[in-house]
Amino acid sequence: MTEASHVPVLLERVLDLLAPSVAVERPVVIDATLGLGGHTEAMLNRFPDLHVIGIDRDPEALTRAKARLEAFGDRVTFAHAVYDEIADVVAGAGFRTVSGVLFDLGVSSMQLDLAERGFAYAQDAPLDMRMNPEDELTAADILNTYTSRDLAKVLREYGEEKFAKRIADAVVAERAREPFTDSARLVDLIRTSIPAAARRTGGNPAKRTFQALRIEVNDELGVYRRALPASLEVLAPGGRVVVLAYHSLEDRITKRAFTEVTTTDVPRDLPFVPEGHEARFRLVTRGAEMATDAEIEENSRARSVRLRVVERIAA
């Protein structure tokens, strides 16, 4: 099996933002996207009284994280779950509320680095892309069964692919000859479906299609839409939710949810906020923070990150 590497994005900034929320007795933070445990390891080292609940739908990631975090013993609780199950996971771990929640969204470094998982367009591999191998739907299933219209919609909405219809039509025509099973064939088809002028900029032309297929396979946006409100509900007063998003649609969901809980329905010209109408949360970051040039140079996966943080101020 190929070895995977993991460089946590915006690590020091994430730790600094969580620090005020964990300065309480028996602090608990949920790492909703545990992956290989890089953020969790850093949190446990920085905050000696902290307990982390690590959630991941990928059993391979959990196995690797458990090995990495073994030295921390019972300071870590591991949960094989999808992160929209946060409320159940917290209750199952014996807690009512938590001090913080971290979402590091998108595909993990391990999933990209392990060719056999089929996430990376740069290596030929089975068209899988399931974060949890126990799930049924694969990228090959989508390519071989979706109508041209439905496939184009996925590529357009989740990959922001300008040539979605061209690619979808080409996939449907090509699969009639032979079903899709491996990524190299799909990459070649995408390359020939996109005009030469459009291929000269923007990196590998398959990037957007692979992203769209991955999001569809794992219902990433649907899961996140459910998980974010659930994470806000399990926060104790003073607790924070930290989100690292890498896709405009994820960031839009975050921005909308945070705006909703940090504003009141009281008219702006009212001199006071009546009891019961106060906002329950406040924004910690102004807009979305991005990685510095230095961080991007050190870790290219930080290039597209958007960081937003909200804090609960009322029960």
How far, CA to CA in Å, does 144 sit from each of 4, 150, 297? 30, 12, 39
Using DSSP bridges, classify how beta strands 235-245 and 306-312 pair: parallel, antiparallel or unpaired.
antiparallel
Q: Is residue 224 a known part of a binding site?
A: no
Cα of 84 vs its chain's centroid, Å: 12
Burial string for 205-221 (b: 16+ CB within 10 Å, else e) reads bbbbbbbbbbbbbbbbb
| Spatial separation of the C-alpha atoms in residues 175 and 144, rounded to whole Å | 6
Q: Is residue 123 a known part of a binding site?
A: no
Q: Is residue 39 a known part of a binding site?
A: yes
Q: Is residue 83 a known part of a binding site?
A: yes
Residue 241's beta-bridge partner residues?
101, 310
| Spatial separation of the C-alpha atoms in residues 63 and 55, rounded to whole Å | 12
Q: In what order do the strands lie in the sheet with 306-312?
A: 76-80, 51-56, 28-31, 98-104, 235-245, 306-312, 281-283
Q: Are 140 and 181 in contact (CB under 8 A)?
A: yes
Cα of 98 vs its chain's centroid, Å: 20
How far, CA to CA in Å, does 240 sit from each of 106, 108, 128? 20, 22, 35
Q: Is residue 276 a known part of a binding site?
A: no
Cα of 228 vs its chain's centroid, Å: 11
Q: Is residue 104 a known part of a binding site?
A: yes
- Identify the three-state secondary structure at position 83: helix
Binding site for S-adenosyl-L-methionine: residue ranges? Answer: 37-39, 56, 83, 104, 111
Binding site: residue ranges? Answer: 37-39, 56, 83, 104, 111
